[in-house]
Amino acid sequence: MKDWRGKTADGTFAVQLQAPVLRALDRLCREARASETGGILIGRYSDELSVAIVREATPPPSDSLRGRAWFVRGVSGLGDMLGNKWRAKERTYYVGEWHFHPVAHVEPSGDDFEQMLKISHAKEYDCKEPLLLIVGTGKQDGWRSLRAFVCPAGCAPLELLPWVGAADAK
């Protein structure tokens, strides 16, 4: 499995989901079966700040709540975990949210975007442009259906569309 890369139509925002993240997402979605689930995305930005590099997708915290068509991500243990990631030699931090819709064609809900707007303005997250990944059961390019968005504070969410970078064009 290769990394997944996406960028906005205007090229302003870009994301790279590393292959281990995709494998973890696949496993977590399989474990959820017919219920929604989710967690947070941890990563960093490229040196020139042009690409959000997602290095980890966490499982749902133990205090998360979920059902067939809804998910509320809990917070248990996240503060300590993120503090440890920040203090580690290779510093990583919160870059967004992911969740699973157990359907083939994924569509973000109004609640999904409302949550991301709140996060983009929240001081405790310190993330003005959070990512939102929604994973489904359908297949695209040999993997689960996936839609990615960046949700800048004060702006409408922008979809990150799959793209092939120079390193991938071999």
Whole-number pLDDT of residue 142: 67
Length of the chain, in residues: 170
**pLDDT higher than threshold 50 for residue 23:** yes
| CA–CA distance, 129 with 98 (Å, rounded to integer) | 14
**pLDDT higher than threshold 50 for residue 166:** no
Whole-number pLDDT of residue 170: 38
pLDDT band at 169 (very low <50, low <70, confident <90, very high): very low
pTM of the predicted model as reported, rounded to 2 decimal places: 0.92
- Tell the residue number behind the tokens 């399989």, with chain if given: 30
Q: What is the pLDDT of residues 37-93, one digit of tens each?
A: 999 999 999 988 889 999 999 999 999 999 999 999 999 999 999 999 999 998 999
**From the candidates 31, 36, 48, 129, which is the catalytic residue?**
36
Catalytic residue check, 36 = yes
- Tell the residue number behind the tokens 């996060």, with chain if given: 119
Domain at 4-160: CATH code = 3.40.140.10
